[in-house]
Amino acid sequence: MKNEGFPLLDQVLVPIHPEGWRFVAIFAVVTAILFALWTPLGWIGVVLTLWCAYFFRNPERVTPTRPGLIISPADGIVQTIGPVAPPPELEMGKEPLTRVSVFMNVFNVHINRVPITGRILRRIYSPGKFFNASLDKASIYNERMAFRLEMEDGRELAFVQIAGLVARRIRCDVEDGQRVSTGERFGLIRFGSRVDVYLPEGVVPLVAVGQTMIAGESVIADSFHQSSMPGEST
């Protein structure tokens, strides 16, 4: 229920993802110990416990309903846009597709959402290293969960959860063969990370590097809006 008299409360008092409760509990126990050792340390623990709860916030989002729109799967900043071959484990070929990378810092919502309605053809988990998720090599070497999705018109799109420097734990809540809808929650990444979207061939991105994205709401591209030549983008 929304706080009709206090709309700002809806931005603060949001649900916490179930994955977060055990971390909040750990932070709270450590905080109690710190208070027992030295009160100033305890207050630092309180701040960190509140930040932990804030990190795992799970707000509602209003997803555009027009067919064909590809929506940002993550909160954060568009870091790079350019032609890159999709992850080899997805077996989508070696031809470059336009990749839009959204980088999440530790203050962003880390719940990830499906970019467009379709069916999950394949999801592949790859363990990896601890490179900063803002680095381009993170898409190759870091822990990741890659998804190959068949859109309703038969074209395919890929999106990849990439773990970051602080921790490397990815949660995924969808299975191979599952039908998913635009804006639907499908998982999260803990403590700083990135999500890449590989657009179908010829689809033009409608975002710019440095633009702020809201998962489940911001439009990355219109799958019905294609360039005149394969691989061409604006």
Distance CA 183, CA 191 (A): 21
Question: Looking at 72, 101, 193, 218, which residue is catalytic?
Answer: 193
Whether 193 is a known active-site residue: answer yes
Could you tell me how far CA 69 lies from the centroid of its own chain?
A: 17
Write down how long the chain is: 234
Question: What is the Cα–Cα distance from 105 to 75, expressed in whole angstroms?
Answer: 9
Give Cα 112 to chain centroid, integer Å: 4
151 contacts 223 by C-beta, under 8 angstroms = yes
**Residue 30: burial class (beta carbons within 10 Å; 0-12, 13-18, 19+):** middle
Angle, helix 39-55 to helix 18-37, in steps of 10 degrees: 170
Q: Which helix (H) or strand (E) holds 53?
A: helix 39-55
Strand partners, 180: 118
Burial class (CB in 10 A: 0-12, 13-18, 19+), 197: buried
- What residues are annotated to the active site? 193
